[in-house]
Structures are given as structure tokens and as C-alpha cells.
Amino acid sequence: MKRNPADPVRRQACLALHAVFNEGRSLSALLEQPTLEERGRARCRALCYAACRWRFRLEAVVDRLVQKPFRRRDARARTVILLALTELEYLDGAPHAVVDSAVTLVQDFGHGALRGVVNAVLRRFLREREAMLASVDRDAALAAAFPPWIAQRLGVDWPEDAPALLDASNARAPMTLRVAARLGRDEYHGRLAAAGIDAQPGPGRADLQLAAPCDVSDLPGFAQGDCSVQDSAAQFAAALLAPQPPERVLDACAAPGGKTGHLLEQGATPERLTVIDADAQRLERVHGNLARLQYDGVRGVVADAASVSDWWDGELFDAILLDAPCSALGVIRRHPDIKSLRRADDLEPLAALQSSLLDALWSVLKPGGRLLYATCSITRLENEEQVAAFLERTADATAGTVSLPVGRPVSVGWQILPGEMGCDGFYYALLQRQSGPASA
């Protein structure tokens, strides 16, 4: 029988998902590749996000459906099934079209011998869906579509909040704007309304959470820097560090520069601001973002911020932002591929990196200066335990007060969990360096 050609959007989605699941590639980077026209890209994105979000529940379904495990070289066929299940279960896919497309796709990928298996597996799912899901959902981590290690970790760290936290991490995050400090939030809210864009204020001073995402080119004045796209929780960093001219400020892990722009809007002097990132390509994006916000004169350095001798010019900083590399478990709702990419044994090396960054940056902070430690993680290891250990080993460090309109105080610092008032999961601790000589 002659078959229709494979649907290019589903084909592209399968290739991207295969690269995330089997090669550890980041979904957002894969989706930036302009292989499809605009509408197809939006659909491909929706398919990939949903498949990453629900993967761990659906993989358990595949395990129950497939009698003989797929060989390594047939891994793409498994991804085809996973994508089809995602459409059937979560995207209102029309059963006949989804099954037919999956069979075509598996053939197109050169696994023609598995066409019958794919067809049979999907049809069996349609027949036995309820019993199949009920059996998978007996395991709470799988029911929440999380890899067991993350569910377990968050269950230990946040015993009371874990169920809500996992749910919130599966929800779609709002597209959130930061209105430029030179404009009022209300004024810009009015401009959005006039442009037909529905939004509501978030918990911060300048944030507006959109009812539905839109293209940035539709946002009034975006090209002129009237607003930036930034989660509400991330917008607390600049106010907590509160840079004052002519202070010397360091943004130590700066790319892509969301918080750098905000520090400037809050009063940091461009010529007195240094930004560092270890990734040269990502640092380029900081320069692009600052150009849109019409700031120049900022010194950008590609370096390992922990290797102070590689980049430091000898003048101490009054204020340092360390938005540390972390597990990013607080932003899974925006990056559901994190569920697949992160491994349990990533946490200890990340914590070691954070600790070496804290120690190194402390050495370039002026006595009397302050360092804001931030992560988009929600593990205690990377947050309050990290900062508590730093305070324990650093004689001239004390914890300053952080109090925000969302989230909660923890043993040291402040934690926001995903979904609270529309926010990403975020952690902040403000560290003050004593002015006098350090006491032991």
C-alpha cells in the first residue's frame, strides 16, 4: 500500500527528542535550529515540550506495552511511540491520524520491520489505556511524570510541599515581563492592554505575567528596551543587591544577561560593572541584550569566575551577584528536558562548583561589601546548606536579611518554590563581608 510521506513536524520533533533522550542535548538549543517554517516550529515546540514533560509517565507505559525491549539501534522507534502516546494522552491527538503517522514515521526512520509493533502497541494503548495508566500511577513519581530520583530528593527536601511542587513543575509557566525601571508598571500594563495583550501584575515591582505567550516583536517598545522577558522570581535579584553609583559591581555568572540588564536599570554604572561568563557564546548574548536596553561600556570577560587570577584587575568590588550554575530543578516547568538531562550524581559536583565560586568571589569583595548568592534550584544542598557551610568556614561573612513578597524564609536565605504566585523556583541569600579585620 502506498503511504503518505512522514509528517515533517512530527519527524523533526522525534529527531529533537531523540537527541535530548539519547545524546543529552538541550531542547531549547535544538529548537533554535531553523529547519521548519514558523507554524511548523510552533507545533514542533509544543510536541517536544509535552513529550519531555510527560516522558517519565509514558515511558513506564511503553515498558508495559512492549514485550521485547528495543535494541539500541532501534531507539528512535521508541521515541516515535513516546511522541504518539504524548499526542494521544495530552494533546487531544486524533487516534487514527496519530497511529498512522507513527507507523509512517518509523518506516521513514529506516525501522520498517517495526511498523507492525508500533501499530500494535499504540492500538493496545487505545484499548487498555485506563488500566495501563492506573497501573503506572501506583508509583507516585511516575504518576507525576518525574524520574524517581528527583521526586525522591524533593520529597526529602520539601515533604509537605512535594506533591504541589511536582504539579507546578508540570504546568506551563507564564511568559513574564520586566518593565523597564524608567517606565511605570501601570503605564506599560496599559500599553499592553491597548495592544490586546492580557497581563496581570506579579509579586514584584516591575513584573507583568501574560495570560498567553506572544512573540516579543508584538510587545510594545520591546526593541527599544521598554520591557524584557524575565520570570518574576528572577526579578528580585537586582533589588536585593541594590547597586548604587559609583559602586563597583560584578555579575559573576552573567549570561544570557537577564539580571545584568536589571542591575543597570536599578542604578549600576555601566563602566563600573564587570560581567563574566565561562561560555563565550552565551556571553555574546549578554552584549546583545544590553545593546537592546541601550547600555554600553560594560566590561565583559570570558573566564572561569573561580580562577580569580585569570580575570581580576586588582580592584575589589562593592557588590557581587553570583547567580550560580545549578541543577535548575526550580525551572523544570520552563525547561522540561531537565527531567531527562539531569542525573542524581550531578548534584555533588554542582555543589562543589558553587562552593568554589563562593570562596573565590569572596576574595575580591571589599570589606563592608555584599554578595548575593542566587540559584534557580530548589534542593537544600545547593541553597541553604551551601550557604550555611560557607558561613561556617568564612569568618568575616554574615547573612543579611532577605524578605520577599513570595516564598519563605529558610534556615539561611529565602526560598521560592515553583508556581508560587506565578514564579519559578528560586533561592536567594545575601552575604555581608565584615568591614573590620576578620575575626577567627
Ligand X SMILES: C[S@@+](CC[C@H](N)C(=O)[O-])C[C@H]1O[C@@H](n2cnc3c(N)ncnc32)[C@H](O)[C@@H]1O
Instruction: Summarize as ranges the residues that interact with ligand X (CB under 6 A).
Output: 253-259, 276-279, 282, 304-306, 323, 325
Q: Active-site residue 253, yes or no?
A: no
For residue 157, what is its C-alpha cell? 527536601
CB of 201 to ligand X, least distance (A): 21
Nearest to 268 by CA among 288, 250, 255: 250
Residue nearest to ligand X (CB): 253
Min dist. Cβ of residue 254 to ligand X (A):
5
Type of residue at 428? Y
Calpha distance 225→219 (Å, rounded): 10
Separation of alpha carbons 272 and 345, rounded Å: 39
Q: 302: which strand partners?
A: 277
How many Å from the N-terminal Cα to the C-terminal Cα in the chain?
Answer: 82
Backbone angles phi, psi at 32, to 5 degrees: -75, -20
Rounded to whole angstroms, the Cα distance separating 284 from 151 reads: 36
302, amino acid identity:
V
Looking at the Cβ atoms of 83 and 275, the one nearer to ligand X is: 275
Distances (CA, A) of 266 to 75, 202, 275: 50, 18, 16
Grid cell digits, residue 197: 495583550
In whole angstroms, how close is the CB of 381 to ligand X at the nearest point? 16
Q: 93 or 225: whose CB is closer to ligand X? A: 225
Smallest separation, CB 335 to ligand X (Å): 11
Q: In this complex, which beta carbon is closest to ligand X, that of residue 36 or of residue 253? A: 253
Q: Give how far Cα 439 sits from Cα of 352, 397, 398, 436, Å.
A: 25, 10, 12, 9
- Closer residue to ligand X, CB minimum distance, 153 or 259: 259
Question: Hey, what amino acid is at 346?
Answer: D
Q: Which of 48, 52, 227, 376 is catalytic?
A: 376
Q: How far is CA 329 from CA 48, 206, 234, 343, in A?
A: 19, 25, 14, 11
CB 80 to ligand X: min, Å: 33
Rounded (to 5) percent helix, strand, coil in the chain: 50, 15, 35
Say which residue the cell 517519565 belongs to.
56
Q: Are strands 426-433 and 365-375 parallel, antiparallel or unpaired?
A: antiparallel
What are the backbone dihedrals phi and psi of residue 77, each rounded to the nearest 5 degrees, phi first? -65, -35
Tell me how long the chain is: 440
* Of 74 and 277, CB closest to ligand X: 277
Q: Pick the closer one to ligand X by CB: 121 or 387.
A: 387
Give the span between the Cα atoms of 320 and 298, in whole angstroms: 15
Give the DSSP letter of residue 421: G
Q: How far is the CB of 304 from ligand X (least distance, A)?
A: 4
CB of 328 to ligand X, least distance (A): 7
Question: What SS3 class is residue 147?
Answer: coil
Peptide bond into 256 cis (omega under 30): yes
> Which is closer to ligand X, CB of 93 or CB of 203?
203
> What element of type H or E holds 4?
none
To the nearest whole angstrom, how small is the minimum distance from the Cβ of residue 388 to ligand X? 21
Residue closer to ligand X by CB (options 256, 267) is 256
CB-CB contact of 341 with 24 (8 Å): yes
Q: Which residues are catalytic?
A: 376
